[in-house]
Structure 1
Amino acid sequence: MKFIHTADWHLGNKMHEVERTKEFENFFNWLKNTIIEEKAEALVVAGDIFDTANPPTEAKAMYIKFLASLIGSDCRNIIIVGGNHDSGSLLDSEKPLLEYLNIHVVGSVANIKAEDMVFELVDNDNKPCCICCAIPYAHEIELRKYFDEESDIGTFSDNAYSGLYNSVLSAAKEKDGGRNLPLIATGHLYAADLEGRFESFNEEVVCDDGKRKLDIVGKLGLVHSHIFSDEFDYVALGHIHYTTMVGKNPKIRYSGSPFTLGFDEAGLPRYVLSVEINKGKETSVSKIEIPSYNIYKRISGNCESIRNQLQMYDRKQEQTVYVEICYKREDGINIHDELEDLITELEDLNVYVISRKVQVEENDLFDTNYNFDSREVKNLLPEDIFKALILRNFPEDLSSLSEEDAEKRKNEVLNSYLSIFMEAYNRAEANNFGDKK
Structure 2
Amino acid sequence: MKILHTGDWHLGKKLHETDFEEDHKLFFEELYNIIVNKSIEVLIVSGDIFDFSNPPRSAEKLYYSFLLKLKNTCCKNIIITAGNHDGIQSLEAPKEILKLLNVDIIGTLSESADDQLIEINDHEGNLKFLIAAVPFLRDKDLLQVNEGRSYHDRTEEVRQGIITHYSELADHVTQKYGDDIPVLATGHLFVAGVEEKSDAVRDIQVGNLAGVHSSSFPERFGYIALGHIHRQQKLQGHANMWYCGSPLPLSFTEKNYEHSVLVTSLNNKGVFEQPEKITISTYRKLITVNNSLHNVLSELRSLDKEENNNYLIEAIITQENSDLDIPYQMSKISEELKFIKLVKYRTNITGKKELKKEDIPDLDDFTPEIIFNSLIKSENVEEEQVLIIKDLFKKAEELSNQERAE
Calculate the TM-score normalised by the size of structure 2: 0.77
The code of the aligned residue for 1:69 comes to K
The code of the aligned residue for 1:85 comes to H
1:173-212 equivalent positions in 2, closer than 5 A: 173-177=174-178, 180-195=180-195, 197=196, 207=199, 211-212=201-202
The code of the aligned residue for 2:311 comes to V
d(CA) in 2 for partners of 1:73 and 1:37? Answer: 10
Change (3 A) 1:339 1:60: closer
Q: Spell out, residue by residue over 1:123-148, the C-alpha distance to the aligned partner (whole angstroms, 9 max, x if none).
A: 34443221000000011121136x9x
Give secondary structure in 2 for the equivalent of 1:169. Answer: helix
Offset, 1:189: 0.4
Structure 1 unaligned residues grouped into runs of 5+? 148-153, 199-204, 362-437
Corresponding position of 2:52: 52
CA contact (8 A) 2:248 2:259 kept: yes
d(CA) in 2 for partners of 1:252 and 1:281? Answer: 13
Offset, 1:223: 1.3
CA contact (8 A) 2:67 2:101 kept: no
Offset, 1:311: 3.8
Corresponding position of 1:113: 112
1:20-419 equivalent positions in 2, closer than 5 A: 20-109=20-109, 111-144=110-143, 155-177=156-178, 180-195=180-195, 197=196, 207=199, 211-212=201-202, 217=207, 220-247=209-236, 249=238, 251-278=240-267, 279=269, 281=271, 283-313=273-303, 315-317=305-307, 319-331=309-321, 333=323, 334-339=325-330, 341-347=332-338, 350-359=339-348
d(CA) in 2 for partners of 1:212 and 1:326? Answer: 23
d(CA) in 2 for partners of 1:118 and 1:155? Answer: 27
d(CA) in 2 for partners of 1:25 and 1:164? Answer: 36
CA contact (8 A) 1:158 1:224 kept: no
CA contact (8 A) 1:293 1:319 kept: no
Offset, 1:330: 4.2
CA contact (8 A) 2:224 2:242 kept: yes
The code of the aligned residue for 2:26 comes to N
d(CA) in 1 for partners of 2:230 and 2:115? Answer: 28
Offset, 1:281: 4.1
Q: Spell out, residue by residue over 1:86-137, the C-alpha distance to the aligned partner (whole angstroms, 9 max, x if none).
A: 111222222212223321110012x432111001012344432210000000
Q: Spell out, residue by residue over 1:313-360, the C-alpha distance to the aligned partner (whole angstroms, 9 max, x if none).
A: 15312551111112225436423444555443432xx20101111239
Q: Spell out, residue by residue over 1:210-259, the C-alpha distance to the aligned partner (whole angstroms, 9 max, x if none).
A: x5368754x73211112211111100001111111222645111111112
Q: Spell out, residue by residue over 1:340-389, the C-alpha distance to the aligned partner (whole angstroms, 9 max, x if none).
A: 55443432xx201011112399xxxxxxxxxxxxxxxxxxxxxxxxxxxx
Change (3 A) 1:260 1:360: farther
CA contact (8 A) 1:46 1:82 kept: yes
Change (3 A) 1:224 1:323: same
Offset, 1:301: 2.3
Change (3 A) 1:98 1:327: same
d(CA) in 2 for partners of 1:320 and 1:56? Answer: 23
d(CA) in 1 for partners of 2:57 and 2:301? Answer: 39
Percent sequence identity is 30
d(CA) in 1 for partners of 2:73 and 2:114? Answer: 28
Change (3 A) 1:305 1:186: same
Change (3 A) 1:360 1:246: farther
The 10-residue stretch of structure 1 (261-270 or 31-40) with the greater mean CA deviation from structure 2: 261-270
Calculate the TM-score normalised by the size of structure 1: 0.71
The code of the aligned residue for 1:168 comes to L
Count of equivalent residues: 340
Offset, 1:185: 0.3
Structure 2 unaligned residues grouped into runs of 5+? 147-154, 351-406
Q: Spell out, residue by residue over 1:11-32, the C-alpha distance to the aligned partner (whole angstroms, 9 max, x if none).
A: 1111111132211111111101
